[in-house]
Structure 1
Amino acid sequence: MINFFKLISWLEGISYILLLFIATPIKYLQGNPEYVKMLGMPHGILFVIYIVLAIMLKYELKWSNKTFGMVCLLSILPFGTFFVGKYLKK
């Protein structure tokens, strides 16, 4: 399950970056909200899957509250989820 979590974290990170740095500027600079609508739902779904998997792995792998908190914090920081795999190897 940890490899699936790493894949989801990578995909969630990509969707977040696309939403923040491509779709949102297009929405506000060009007045075109279509990209936000198109990328928002997949990002939301990936985010929910990420958090659910993190909760499941917390109990399965007996993560400390610090590890779980860091994994959750990385999910809201731009580029943060790209470092989840490296953080978990520590």
Structure 2
Amino acid sequence: MDLKTAGALRRLRLISAPEAVSFLLLLVCSVLKRTTDFNAVPVMGMVHGVLFVLYVAFWALAWRRARWGWKRAGWLLLLSVLPTGGFFAERTLARESEAVVDAVVAARGRSEAVGA
């Protein structure tokens, strides 16, 4: 893997938490719409929709770069449609992107040692 893979994972990671927060806020707004006169569903629906589309786009790029199997890719996509799934995706992707960066740094260290 390379730094482009780490970048793709980082982008997906950075959008996963805001997407999860927007989903939870949309659920709260839906409840408030039915129980009070407060109606922020159109605004939160748009915000969540944009963040969800970004999540799916970044997910597709990360899937291609990281070469995940169907099971792994499906799991990360499923997490985007669960109310708190984005938080779990963020933690998982943080570990994975750190591992990629560590592998790249270690590979560069080995190549510099061999070249010296």
TM-score by length of 1: 0.89
Residues of 2 paired with 1:86 and 1:32: CA distance?
A: 34
Residues of 2 paired with 1:4 and 1:56: CA distance?
A: 9
Matched residue, 2:110: none
Higher relative contact order (CA 8 A, sep 6+): 2
Would the aligned equivalents of 2:17 and 2:90 in 1 still touch at CA under 8 Å? no
Q: What's the CA shift for 1:18?
A: 0.5
SS of the residue corresponding to residue 53 of structure 1 reads: helix
Aligned residue pairs, count: 88
Calculate percent identity across the aligned residue pairs. 34
SS of the residue corresponding to residue 33 of structure 2 reads: helix
Which of 53, 56, 76 is residue 51 of structure 1 equivalent to? Answer: 56
The RMSD of aligned alpha carbons is 1.4
Q: How does 1:1-90 map to 2 (within 5 A)?
A: 1-20=8-27, 22-33=28-39, 35-88=40-93, 89=95
TM-score by length of 2: 0.70
Where in structure 2 are there 5+ consecutive unaligned residues? 1-7, 97-116
